[in-house]
Amino acid sequence: MAVERKNIYVTQPTLAPLGEVTEIMQRIWDSGIMTHNGPLVQQFEKETQAFLGCSNLVACTNGTIALQMAIRALELKGEIITTPFTFIATISSIMWEHCTPVFVDIDPETLNIDPDKIEERITCHTVAIMPVHVFGNACEIDRIDEIAKAHNLKVIYDAAHAVGVKYKGKCIFNYGDVSATSFHATKMLNTAEGGGVITRDKDIDEKLRRIRFFGFENHADIVEDGFNGKMTEVHAALGLANLKYLQAALDDRKKKYAIYKSELSRNASLSFQKITYDCNYSYFPLIFATEADLLKAVSALNAEGIYPRRYFYPSVNTFRKLVPYVSMPKSEDIASRILCLPLYYSLSEADMERIIKLIIG
Ligand SMILES: Cc1ncc(COP(=O)(O)O)c(C=O)c1O
């Protein structure tokens, strides 16, 4: 009898057993509190901070809102330098906050913003730099910090991919003026939808909490230009249950990343993201020599019910509906040749072997 194989997608959420989630959720039914910075949101913030080694984590609705809260808290008005090799939310958050994204091309090896090119794009209108730790690969933080200090600019890290990453031994969220992360279903730690804003500055932390809650101070006066960015108790319950499995998920990703890399290295035309500092290996980006090679691999995988994802594709500077086109040759080239392979906790090593074989034969 033929065995029916399940389709394999680029990712699957890491989920705690349902019983552990409902046990925590019971507290919502007991308290009747579903939102408004409830006890589970506060516990999620505290336990996530303790696990990661940061403080002042403000949990919110999603990673896009986390970026917008960061821009608002720093009261930025003007040009924000960022990378074209990112997800659209990096750019849309800048634009929703009435700022202008200015692209700086990437280092084609690390896939992060190229610090050597940042100063060329600084003008009298530049107010901040918003680099992305692409695929959880830590940016050149010291260099970026130096440039920001020299030009009196703020730094917001788009750390949507970077849960669990360290830089020089410390949680990566401790760098820059503010970091914004995502707890989306596809991320290392998930609350289905969710995000977090992190800062070392207590005043900014308090401002972020007001922005998250319509701008209210103590449920009385409106003192900030805020909005509704609150995480719900239901999402926090899921996050608290999943947090217990975060270390196992990080260890599993690292092991699987190493398997993919060592096997796929046998084909000299394939290349990989260069990791200089630390990475959480949340994705497995594979760079082909040409787009034609990539399309050939995608067809072979799709024919077997395997669906990797062209990510990030296309390069965000090419979205002419949103931004005037400025050529970013490195980002556009990488975007045309990069493919993220399936990588998640429940992916079997047998399925990884099949994927590897279909790519390198
Ligand atoms: C680099 C980057 N920034 C921001 C976001 C937005 O996060 P969210 O989906 O939680 O809004 C994402 C989402 O995948 C992302 O990849």
For residues 190 and 155, what is the distance between their CA atoms, to the nearest angstrom? 25
Among residues of the chain, what percentage have pLDDT more than 90?
97
Whether the predicted pLDDT of 3 surpasses 90: no
CA of 87 to the centre of ligand 1 (A): 6
pLDDT in tens, 64-90: 999 999 999 999 999 999 999 999 999
pLDDT in tens, 232-284: 999 999 999 999 999 999 999 999 999 999 999 999 999 999 999 999 999 99
Predicted pLDDT at 187: 98
Q: Mean pLDDT over residues 211-216, rounded?
A: 96
What ranges do the domains of the chain cover? 8-12+246-360, 18-243
Predicted pLDDT at 220: 81
Predicted pLDDT at 237: 98
Q: Mean pLDDT over residues 210-216, rounded?
A: 97
Q: Is 182 in the pocket of ligand 1 (CB under 6 A)?
A: yes
Classified as helix, coil or strand, 23 is helix
Nearest residue CA, atom 7 of ligand 1? 63
For residues 307 and 303, what is the distance between their CA atoms, to the nearest angstrom? 9
pLDDT in tens, 337-348: 999 999 999 999
Predicted pLDDT at 116: 98
Q: Mean pLDDT over residues 287-315, rounded?
A: 98
Q: Is 137 in the pocket of ligand 1 (CB under 6 A)?
A: no
Residue 110, both tokens: 């690390």
Predicted pLDDT at 295: 98
Q: Is 196 in the pocket of ligand 1 (CB under 6 A)?
A: no
Residue 270, both tokens: 């394939």
Whether the predicted pLDDT of 357 surpasses 80: yes
Predicted pLDDT at 261: 98
CA of 46 to the centre of ligand 1 (A): 22
pLDDT in tens, 271-294: 999 999 999 999 999 999 999 999
Whether the predicted pLDDT of 1 surpasses 80: no
Predicted pLDDT at 361: 79
pLDDT in tens, 126-175: 999 999 999 999 999 999 999 999 999 999 999 999 999 999 999 999 99
Mean pLDDT rounded to a whole number for the chain: 97
pLDDT in tens, 92-130: 999 999 999 999 999 999 999 999 999 999 999 999 999
Is 8-12+246-360 CATH 3.30.420.10?
A: no
CA of 48 to the centre of ligand 1 (A): 19
Nearest residue CA, atom 10 of ligand 1? 63
Closest to 16 measured CA to CA, from 248, 186, 183, 196: 248
Is 18-243 CATH 1.10.443.10?
A: no
**Exposure of 311 by Cβ count < 10 A (0-12 exposed, 13-18 middle, 19+ buried)?**
middle
DSSP string, 173-224: GGSSSEEEEE--TTSSS--SS-EEEE-S-HHHHHHHHHHHBTTEETTTEE-S
CA of 2 to the centre of ligand 1 (A): 40
